[in-house]
Amino acid sequence: EYNLSVVESPKIEAIIFESPTLSVNSSEVKPTLITLLDKAITTNSDFPVSALLFCKEGVVPGVNIEVSDWTKGLCGERVAISKAISYGLTDFDSMSLHTLKGEFSSPCGACRQVIHEHMPDNEINFYHADGTLSTHYTSDLLPFSFTSKSLAK
Ligand code: THU
């Protein structure tokens, strides 16, 4: 009816992903996080969050991305983790995050679950709006956490 013909797609031997990583040394962490805050899309909350995920291969940035439907926004921490995993980077060393407002920069519950699953025994650095920094263990963010082991019969 539609006079269709079959066209063979060329075989793709390999898909090469360019690395999404930045090179950030220890003195550049805070200024990089602050610069990154400008990339956050915070139409609803005006609460930018930036995250740097330190992977074995380099540093993957993330920011929060809001959309018109408030419930569909993405958090900076999970953007960084998702981006890293989609590029095949899974060896995470630590994470740093920065907010511009609030008394204490701290990941939301959903981010804690994801952070804990992918980096359960790592350090996480919170750069607070007042210029101070605190360092924590990810295991302390989610005591008595739900894991896939909980699903075992
Ligand atoms: N947000 C993050 O990006 N990370 C968190 O862990 C806490 C909350 C974002 C979500 C939303 O875009 C804005 O901050 C206000 O909740």
Residue 12 has pLDDT above 90, yes or no: no
Which residue blocks in the chain are alpha helix, DSSP H? 29-37, 76-86, 109-118, 138-141
Confidence of residue 5 (pLDDT cuts 50, 70, 90): very high
Nearest atom in ligand 1 to the alpha carbon of residue 63 is 3
Pick the more confident residue, 39 or 1.
39
Dump pLDDT digits (tens) for 18-48: 788 999 999 999 999 999 999 999 999 999 9
Confidence of residue 59 (pLDDT cuts 50, 70, 90): very high
pTM: 0.89
Q: Amino acid letter at 153?
A: K
Nearest atom in ligand 1 to the alpha carbon of residue 112 is 6
Residue of 52, 75, 82, 116 with the most ligand 1 atoms within 8 Å of its CB, for mutation: 75
Residue 119 has pLDDT above 90, yes or no: yes
Is 77 marked active-site? yes
Token pair belonging to 122: 């790592």
30: phi then psi, degrees, rounded to nearest 5: -65, -50
Query: Within the chain, how many helices (H) and strands (E) appear?
Result: 4, 5
Residue of 41, 45, 49, 125 with the most ligand 1 atoms within 8 Å of its CB, for mutation: 49
